[in-house]
Structure 1
Amino acid sequence: MALHIYGSVEGILDLLATNENLSLDSDLRSGDELNYTEGYLINKEVSAYYDTHGITPASGEMHVYPKSFTLPKCVEVYTSNTEISVGFSCSGSGNIEVDWGDNSPGETITLTDTVQNITHIFDSSIGEKRKVTLYIQASFKTLDVSDLRPLAMYILKPLSVERFKVSDVSLPLDSLPMLRGTFRITLDSIKTEKLMPLVELKELMELNLLTFVYRQPTIDAFLVGLVQKHGNRRNCRITMKTVPSGNYAEPERDENNRYILTSGMGAIWVLTNEPAWNEGGVWEFIIDNTTYKYGTNN
């Protein structure tokens, strides 16, 4: 009833305030009358959606079973049970089947070259984290999961994504090495304990660690990892705000002529000064508006 009248479950507070005998333990029956504050809307978008589509939300168990999917299960995303609606945006070729983790039937999405914004309003409430499952047979040009507001994300199979983005959440990045063909990643205002999983993405050519200031040891470990696991990695342009430890200068070497890396800035010096690693393209770091790049004196 709160969803129908106010567009939000928070409308329960108004129902409790305007009905003295009502409590959260009350059992409502057909024919009961409740008072409410006329014209009081909390979420106009949700209320308008219900009116436009002729939907009257109902409580109780009305599960849609069985749900059947034809594509491989590729991604599981866990989001808060307080979320009313979520979504994601994508482009590419192929198909996605979505289990939104509520009573709605599965949704099928056909990818195109034009970015599509997919949104969903949950039709039921649950007492624990909600799981949204993506069944995928597709190659993505872009995939932005920010509006899923993930608390955790598990990529279960290798996933072809050229450009990946997630922003404004606290999220472990352990599954990102399952991305394939990814040359651009944007992590905008992401809180995470470690960036080391990104070291495994050797096709990456642009990494944006925007807005959020990461802990210096987190940045240092990532930069040193880029050197230690360079291999046949592509050169990359990395933008970030956190200034790594140490000085931008050539590190000392051990008896085997290998660099002794003790700081993030030392690792950046190696990446931007090693000729073999800058032949096909150059490494570039933009750190708090200062640029470090092969062949320049900054």
Structure 2
Amino acid sequence: MTHTNTATPTSSDIFHLGGDLPVHRIGYGSMRLADAPDARSGGTAHIWRAPTDRAEAVALLRRAAELGVDLFDTADAYALGAGEELIAEALHPYRDRGIAVATKVGVVRPGPTEWVPLGHPAYLRQQAELSLRRLRTERIDLLYLHRIDPDYPLADQVGALRQLQDEGKVRHIGLSEVTVAQLREATETAPVAAVQNLYNLASRESEDVVDYTAAHGIAFVPYFPVAMGAHAAPDSPLSQVARDLTATPSQTALAWLLHRSPTMLPIPGTSSVPHLEENVAALRLPLTGAQFEEISRASGPGTTAG
């Protein structure tokens, strides 16, 4: 069963990223659009080469834009820049519709299984320049520091992004995989518009970051937002609520995230058009407070904040 409510978007469907960039609250994460289709699944996927099914990947990204998705997430480390090139090719016809693209710098890929933080300020600025070229744009809508490098002061790493912002090459700055303390420290150097941490029903170690970002109007962008496993078993509370809503467990998990915080912007990724359409439809799923609490209690430690 799939929820396909096509009601007109409401104000709660939209978040103003950085206070001035309106985006729908379900975006698209493009990390998995790399390599061959049979090499994309699981935590061991390499994200190393351009997709072998490029035409299908372009068609999927364009379908997302047609469905109203207007926040697309990528990184310079995805397929060594090929991910950004794919986004540029697919979304070029749609950029005048207010499409926002987020990318990341600060991780090097010396091999297909290696993801190594590198926060030298000059390197971050160089990679941003390359991202601008690959994305075919003069300004990056949202640029994340992909990971904090402990070998360089955080102020210097964020300062490099702030320099790019002052030069008009970056609109908003984000951080990925940070604590509340690191977020506070970073905001002493530059305004932070978004935080991208691992967060879903099964991985809720960032509860305090979710609360902090909500309190300060900062977008919280959970990557890997849908974790199924035991949470989606036929007799689980998530599946029961999904049945009550005539929806799928994955849609209901996304609705739970949207209910969790008003600044939550999930970016589920998929290479399936039907799954993409299912994810986008979750934006209209009418999860109640009682249903949210039921899922929260059964899925692990959490909060009752809505």
TM-score, normalised by the number of residues in structure 2: 0.25
State which structure, 1 or 2, has the greater radius of gyration over its C-alpha atoms. 1
Bigger fraction of residues in strand: 1
